[in-house]
Structure 1
Amino acid sequence: MTMQFALPHLSEWLGWIYLIGIAILFALLIRAAIGRRWQDSAIFAVIWCVVLFPLYAPITASWMRVEAFRAHVSPIASYLSQCKLIDFVAGNAKQKLGRCENLGTGGEEVLEIFYDTTGLIVAPPAQRTPEWRAAMGHFSPTAVHLEGEGRARRLFGDFYEIALFPHDYDGSNDDF
């Protein structure tokens, strides 16, 4: 998932490359152990720890994902100019809300990247203001965006991602 921001067209192959690399590493470890090459076995065991690190350290994988996204959107002003942003007023303050891009994950899931200066995208639906709901109503699928709870995750700053699946789409189009 980390590479999807840097090289989205190659990211779907990373899982397979990882599995093939693990299989090769396992074969080399077994070969070294059977041949009683203990130094080689120790080296391969240490490599195993490094290779499997993302599986037993999800916080680090999450951090890497956020850093890859930061690099992807840099410079932020240029990235924001590509977003479909809506200006609105909530609580006597100017706010911005909009979709920046859709990213495929290699499966059926699609990640939508949103910019939301209010942070209400991660709030429970009952706490979202009418102004925010009106602005978000411009994006489809409206049922997920307006009533969805627990679907959005903060990436960094005012950027969020929402996971969507084929059954989420309601057939409506954005108002842009």
Structure 2
Amino acid sequence: GVLTLAFFIHNCIITLLKNNKNQENNVRDLSIAYMLVTLTYLYIGVLVFASFPSPPLTKDCIEQNFLDNFPSSDILSFIARIFLLFQMMTVYPLLGYLARVQLLGHVFGDVYPSIFHVLTLNLIIVGAGVIMACFYPNIGGIIRYSGAACGLAFVFIYPSLIYMISLRQEDRLTWPKLIFHIFIIILGLANLIVQFF
């Protein structure tokens, strides 16, 4: 689920990069960004997991939210939470913009059809986040389930269906290609089902 969500984020990157002033630097900028994100996640994930005191405690007690592993009285943890709040204040509007550009652009043909449309979409996005925070504050589960569901649609089903429809229109769809792409869709469905166990 997490990996398919990471792959799903690629369509957001396309939206961001098409607004770049210097399009020739897109490959370089994207490579640097991916390298920095990878190093950050590896640094935090691998080092914390490897340095966790395993004999007295089991690794199962590591919280999904990294900062929940520290006591609330820890000053560095408090500072990290402040920086995380700042990050969310900058990332959340960006994700709202990406959702608006992709959703409203495809549905209405305009990324800003009216203030009512944009306000309604923003209320839905913020409302969904607040409801999840109130009733299911399990970030790992949210990423797992939403990643598997979005991945099923945008990674497994849509590309396979579009390719099969294209082949069918050109009378080039053969049984092996059909079976292979149906297998890919079944694989994505299995990935979604496995997330619940």
When normalised by structure 1's length, the TM-score is 0.27
State TM-score, norm by structure 2.
Answer: 0.25
More strand by share: 1
Higher helix proportion (structure 1 or 2): 2
Determine which structure has greater relative contact order: mean sequence separation of CA pairs < 8 Å that are 6+ residues apart, divided by chain length: 2
